[in-house]
Structure 1
Amino acid sequence: MEIKSFSRTEGDINLSTERKGWQEAHLSQQTLEVLEEDSRYFLHQSMSTPCMNVITNAEGIYIEDMDGRKFMDFHGNSVHQVGYKNRFVIDAVKKQLDDLPFLPRRYTSPIAVQLAEKLVELTPGNLNKVLLTPGGTSAIGLALKLARKATGKFKTISTWDSFHGASLDAISVGGEGVFRNQMGPLLPGTEHLMPFNSYRCIFGNGADSERKSLDYLEYVLQREEDVGAIIMEPIRSTDVQIPPKSYFQRLRQLCDQYGVLLILDEIPTAFGRTGTMFVHEHYDIVPDIVVIGKGFGGGVFPMAGIIAREDLDIAQDISLGHYTHEKSSVGCAAALATIEFIENNRLLAHATRMGAFLEQRLTEMMDRHEIIGDVRVKGMLAGIELVTSRLTKDRAIEATEKVMYRCMERGLSFKVSNGNVITLVPPLITTQSQLEQALFIIEDVIAEISSVKTT
C-alpha cells in the first residue's frame, strides 16, 4: 500500500518496511502470533491496528513486552503524567470500587463534587463550571455544542494540522488529513486558518509572522458575523509547536472584540505537562472553555471534560452530554487522586526544572548534529526536528523513522510526528538521570544514522 504524505502528519505509521523489519528482527514467534490474531479480529486503521508489539506490563516510566523487554515510554498517548500503575491512584480507584462502582445518571456523589470543586479551584478567572465525559473527543463535542447554545452562532475557526479527536464533529474542526480525508461532507461552518508557524515560510521568523497570522484571522472575523468560537491547541502537542505569549494575548483580545468564545484544547497537555497545571497559564489569559482529558484519569481510567466560564451555564433546557458514564464515580476518584499526587509530589516544579534541563541538553545536541534542524521544549514536552538541510528545512522522514526503531532496540519508545519530529512526552515522575539516559540513546542513534548517511 502506498504511504501518502498526510499519513505521516499525526504520528508514526504502521505500514512501513522499517516497522516490518524491526518486528521480524526483534519479536518472538509467540508475540508475532498474538499480533496476527489481533490483526485478524480488530478493524485495521492508520497508526494502530495492525499493532507494533504486545505489551504485558506497564509500571512507572516503563512498558514491558511479551518477550520481557522493557522500554522507557516517552509516548504513553499523553496519559501517564503520574506514571503507570501509580499506587496512589490505584488505591483511590479500588476504594471507590468498594464504595460506589457506578453512579447512575440524575444523581451525584461526594467524589464528583469534590473533583469539580478542585478543578474550579485550580483554574483562573471565572472558569467555575464543569461538565465531565468519558473521553476527550466527546468533551470537544460538549464545547462545540455549548458555544452554539451560548452565542447563537454555528461557525468555528480552527487551524489546519490541529487534532481535536476522531469523531465526525471533532475531525470537522480538526485539520489532520489522516482523520478527515475520504470522509465526505463534514460538519458545516468549520473554517480553518494556517497554523501560526506556517506563515514563517513566507514572512520569516519573528513577530511579523505571528502578526500576519492574526491579521488574517481578524480579516475573517470582520466578514464572518456568525463565528461563535475559535478552538485551538495552546501548544500543538504532537510536533510541539509553541506560540509566543503575544500570539495568544492578541487572540484573546480579538475574541473579546468580535464576541467569539475562545476554546482551548488542553486534552494532551493539561495537568502539569508544561510545568503549570494548565497550559494557558503560560500566556496570562483566561479562555472561555478549557477542554481536558488523557492524563486526567491518571493512566488508569478514561476521563475528560470541560471547564467553562460561569456565565456560560445557560443550557439547562437541552442535554449537552448526558453520557452514561458522565460522572463516573470511579473516574472521579482516579482524577482527584491524580491531581493530589501531582500537588503532593511537587511535580509542577519538577517539570519546570526538567524542562530547563531538556532545553539545555537538546540545544547542545543540535549544535553537534547538522541533522537536527530545531528543538522545541516546554516543561516535559519536547520536539526534536530532523532535517536533510537546515537551510531548506526539508524533512528527514526516512532518517527519523530509523532513529525511532533503533532507539526502540535500546529500550526507548517515543512518538514520531509530522514524519520528522521526535516527540518526547516523558511521565512527570521521570528523573533527570532517566532523561539523561534517554537523551544519550537518542544522540548516539542520531550520530550513527548521520554517519551511515554521509559515508
Structure 2
Amino acid sequence: MNKIVQPTHFRSEGDVNTTLARQAWNAAMNDERTQALLKRDCDVFLHQAMSTPCLDTLEAAEGIYIQDATGKKYMDFHGNNVHQLGYAHPHVIKRVQEQIAKLPFSPRRFTNETAIKCAEKLTQICGGKLNRVLFAPGGTSAVGMALKLARHITGSYKVVSLWDSFHGASLDAISVGGEACFRQGMGPLMAGVERIPPAVSYRGAFPVADGSDVHYADYLEYVIEKEGGVGAFIAEAVRNTDVQVPSKAYWKRIREICDKHDVMLIIDDIPNGMGRSGEWFTHQAYDIEPDILCIGKGLGGGLVPIAAMITKDKYNTAEQISMGHYTHEKSPIGCAAALATMEAIEQQSLLEKTKADSQFMREKLLEMKDKYPVIGDVRGIGMLWGIELVTDHQKKQRAFDEAEAVLYQCLNNGLSFKVSQGNVIQLSPPLIITRAQLSEALAIFEQAIAKVCKDFNYS
C-alpha cells in the first residue's frame, strides 16, 4: 500500500476545518450530548476535507434557521445553496407528502405525470430554446451528462473551463474543475481539458486600467484557435463560492466566441439557479442563452436531492446513448419537490423580492466597506454576496485569520455562513428571509467585523 502523504492544503471552496480556530470552537462546546454525537460521527464516517470534523450537530431546521442539539438556532446564510425556500417550506412538504402517498417511485422504463409536469414547467421558466430535460440525482451528475452530450453533439472531447471553478467532486467533474485541491493525488483524469483565467474584477490575473473584464473572454478564443477540436466551454455565469460577478459585455463576448467556433456553451447554475440571482437562472441576468444548462441544489426545495440538465431541441439526437440512466431518473418525489419549489417562488413573488433585498444588502455592505478597513471588496448579485477581507488595500493580501475570527464570532451570535478562498465571507441567505431578519443578520456580521478591526489593530 502506498504511504499516505499529508497534502499541502489549498484554501478554496469552504472554510478550513483543521485550524486552531476550529479546534478552539469545538473545544468550547460544553454540551455532553453534542460532544458524544460529534465523536460518533468522527468514528463512523470516512473523513474528508471540508467535512471533517463537523462544526456542530443539528436536530431541527425551519425557515431561515437551523437548530443544534442544545436548542441554539443559527440563521443559515450557507445552506449548501439548497435553501432558496429555507427549510420545511409547507408547500413543498405538502406536495411531497401527497406524492409519497400516491406514487413514491417510478421505474426507469415508465414515466409519470409529476415528472412530465416538472419538466414542462422547467422549460417554461427557462424560456428561449431550452426545452429538453433530463433529471439526475445531483448536480455533479448533471454536469457529467452535459459533458457527455457535448461530446456526442460536437464529436470532440476537448473542454475549456475556468481556473478556480468548481463543477462537482466526481472524477469527470474535478477534471473540468479549476481548483487544484480537488485533483491533488488523483492521478490521470479526463483528457482534453484546457483552463483559462476567470473574469475577476478585484484581483484578476491580468487587470486592465479601466477595470473592465471583457479581455478575459478573449482567452477563450485564443485557446480554441490554438488547441483546435474544442467542443465545449463550461462555467458558472456567476462564480458562487467567492462570488465573482462578470460584466454583461464579458458574457456577450463569450456567447459570440462559442457561436463563431461551434463550441457548446454549458452554464453550471447548480448553486445559483432557482432565483438566487433575482432571475430564475443566472444567465438570464446577462441576456444570453446557453446550449446546455445544469441546475440542482435549490431545485429540490431544501427537501429532496434532484438536479437537471436542460438543452435545446436540436440536440435531441442521442436516442442510442444513455446520457444519465439513473435509477431515480424521473423520481416522482424529487419532481414533486421541484415543481412545488417553482410554484412557491411564483406564489411568493420571490424573484421580485430578491431584487429588492439585493439592493438593500448592497447598500448596507458598501456602508461597511467605507467604515471598516479590513473589507477590501464587496460584490454580489441577488441574494449572493461576497465580502473580501484584506490586510492591505494596496497589496490586497488575504486576511485569513481575520476571516476566521469573523466566522466564529458570528457563529457564536447565531449566524452561519461560509468562508471561501480563505478570506471571502460568502453570504447567501434564503430568499424567504424577512427584511427584519436580514437586518438582524447584517448587524451580527457588522458587530463581528468591528470586533476584528479592533482586535487586529486596524486603523
TM-score tier (shorter): over 0.9
Percent of paired sites with the same residue: 51
Deviations 1:57-108 (A, max 9, x none): 0000000000110000000000010110111101100000011000001110
Q: Using the alignment, how far apart are the partners of 1:146 and 1:246 within structure 2? A: 28
Aligned to 1:335: 338
Is the CA contact 1:407–1:413 (under 8 Å) kept in the aligned structure 2? yes
Q: 1:203 aligns with which of 207, 222, 241?
A: 207
Alpha-carbon RMSD: 1.4
Is the CA contact 1:100–1:329 (under 8 Å) kept in the aligned structure 2? yes
Aligned to 1:438: 441
Q: Using the alignment, how far apart are the partners of 1:447 and 1:171 within structure 2? A: 38
Residues 1:226 and 2:208 aligned together:
no
Aligned to 1:294: 297
Is the CA contact 1:146–1:320 (under 8 Å) kept in the aligned structure 2? yes
Is the CA contact 1:27–1:67 (under 8 Å) kept in the aligned structure 2? no
**Which 5+ residue runs of structure 1 have no aligned equivalent?**
none
Q: 1:52 aligns with which of 52, 55, 58?
A: 55
Counterpart AA for 1:48? S
How much has 1:303 moved relative to structure 2? 0.3
Counterpart AA for 1:406? Q
Aligned to 1:120: 123
Deviations 1:230-263 (A, max 9, x none): 0000000001000000000000000000000000
Is the CA contact 1:241–1:376 (under 8 Å) kept in the aligned structure 2? yes
Moved more, 343-352 or 19-28: 19-28
Aligned to 1:131: 134
How much has 1:3 moved relative to structure 2? 8.4
Deviations 1:204-227 (A, max 9, x none): 36465x233222221111122211
Residues 1:154 and 2:157 aligned together:
yes
Counterpart AA for 2:300? G
Q: Using the alignment, how far apart are the partners of 1:89 and 1:205 within structure 2? A: 49
Residues 1:278 and 2:278 aligned together:
no
Counterpart AA for 1:122? I
Aligned CA distance change for structure 1 residues 321 and 193 (closer, same or farther; 3 Å): same
Q: Using the alignment, how far apart are the partners of 1:167 and 1:454 within structure 2? A: 43
How much has 1:37 moved relative to structure 2? 0.8
Give the structure-1-normalised TM-score: 0.97
Q: Tell me, what secondary structure is at the counterpart of 1:197?
A: coil
Q: 1:141 aligns with which of 144, 160, 167?
A: 144
Q: Using the alignment, how far apart are the partners of 1:45 and 1:206 within structure 2? A: 42
How much has 1:452 moved relative to structure 2? 1.1
Deviations 1:295-320 (A, max 9, x none): 00000000001110110101001100
Counterpart AA for 1:186? L
Moved more, 14-23 or 291-300: 14-23
Is the CA contact 1:358–1:377 (under 8 Å) kept in the aligned structure 2? no
Aligned to 2:178: 175
Is the CA contact 2:234–2:267 (under 8 Å) kept in the aligned structure 1? yes
Q: Tell me, what secondary structure is at the counterpart of 1:314?
A: coil
Give the structure-2-normalised TM-score: 0.96
More helix by share: 1
Is the CA contact 1:3–1:15 (under 8 Å) kept in the aligned structure 2? no
Aligned to 1:73: 76
Q: Tell me, what secondary structure is at the counterpart of 1:308?
A: strand
Q: Using the alignment, how far apart are the partners of 1:264 and 1:211 within structure 2? A: 18
How much has 1:439 moved relative to structure 2? 0.8
Q: Using the alignment, how far apart are the partners of 1:24 and 1:266 within structure 2? A: 37
Is the CA contact 1:10–1:178 (under 8 Å) kept in the aligned structure 2? no
Q: Using the alignment, how far apart are the partners of 1:336 and 1:206 within structure 2? A: 44
Q: Using the alignment, how far apart are the partners of 1:377 and 1:114 within structure 2? A: 33
